[in-house]
Amino acid sequence: MISRELVYKMLDKEHGYAQGWGGPEHDAQWGYMDWLTFAEKYTDEAKLAWSNYSPDERTVRIRLIKAASLLVTALQYLGEESDIAIAGISSSSFPIRHGGLLGKKYADQSFFDVGDA
């Protein structure tokens, strides 16, 4: 096992490499599904490499690094400082609602105040 600090260094290095593809102005244009799709490209390739019994496990790890870096970048652009309050909480506390968003009515309330509204 390697340290989280080393993993973060890998992600920083990957992010530096990825900045050659556009930079902040380029990155700011993408939404949630764009970032998930970009990351999914690499997770799909990692699964393919594994299922094809690639003898070099780096083929999987490099794609995990790329996917993780993309998702971190998504949080940089789309996340909010208040998200620190939801980190470390089960995602089941945030049910997936069908039929649209709750709307601006609840925009200033915390997830504890919204309940099952």
Q: For residue 72, how far is the Cα from the chain centroid? A: 5
Domain boundaries, the chain: 30-79
pLDDT, one tens digit per residue, over 18-46 is 998 888 899 999 999 999 999 999 999 99
- In the chain the first and final C-alpha atoms are separated, in Å, by 43
pTM here?
0.80
Is a pLDDT exceeding 80 seen at residue 61? yes
Residue 112 has pLDDT above 70, yes or no: no
Please report which residue ranges of the chain form alpha helices under DSSP H: 4-18, 24-27, 32-51, 58-78, 111-114
- Token representation of residue 101: 């968003």
List phi, psi (to 5°) of 46. -65, -40
